[in-house]
């Protein structure tokens, strides 16, 4: 597979967004279990995008271009 990641994170410096955080943000969606192909309603789908933008902004100082980078993502936050 050809892939160009837009974000690579060091989990020791920037722990990932947890299932619990997703459940708190969108409680009506079952985050554990299930299978692929499930779709969030559009309004709910915007919430994880906002969480991700806030996450990248919060961990701004950890982005060093080696252990962490945010190619194409971080620029959009400014």
- Give buried/exposed letters for 46-78 (b at 16+ CB in 10 A, else e): eebeeeeeebbeebeeebeeeebbbeeebeeee
Mean local confidence (pLDDT), 51-77: 68
* pTM > 0.85: yes or no: no
* Percentage of residues of the chain with pLDDT beyond 90: 14
Provide the phi-psi class of 65: left if phi over 0, else alpha when psi is between -120 and 50, else beta: left
The pLDDT assigned to 69 comes to: 64
Does the pLDDT of residue 3 top 80, yes or no? no
């Amino acid at each position: 597979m050809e892939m160009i990641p837009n974000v690579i994170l060091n989990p020791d410096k920037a722990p990932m967004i947890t299932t619990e955080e997703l459940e708190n943000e969108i409680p009506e969606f079952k985050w554990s279990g299930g299978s692929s192909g499930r779709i969030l309603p559009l309004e709910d789908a915007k919430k994880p995008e906002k969480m991700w933008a806030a996450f990248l902004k919060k961990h701004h100082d950890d982005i060093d271009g080696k252990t962490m980078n945010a190619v194409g993502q971080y620029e959009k936050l400014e």
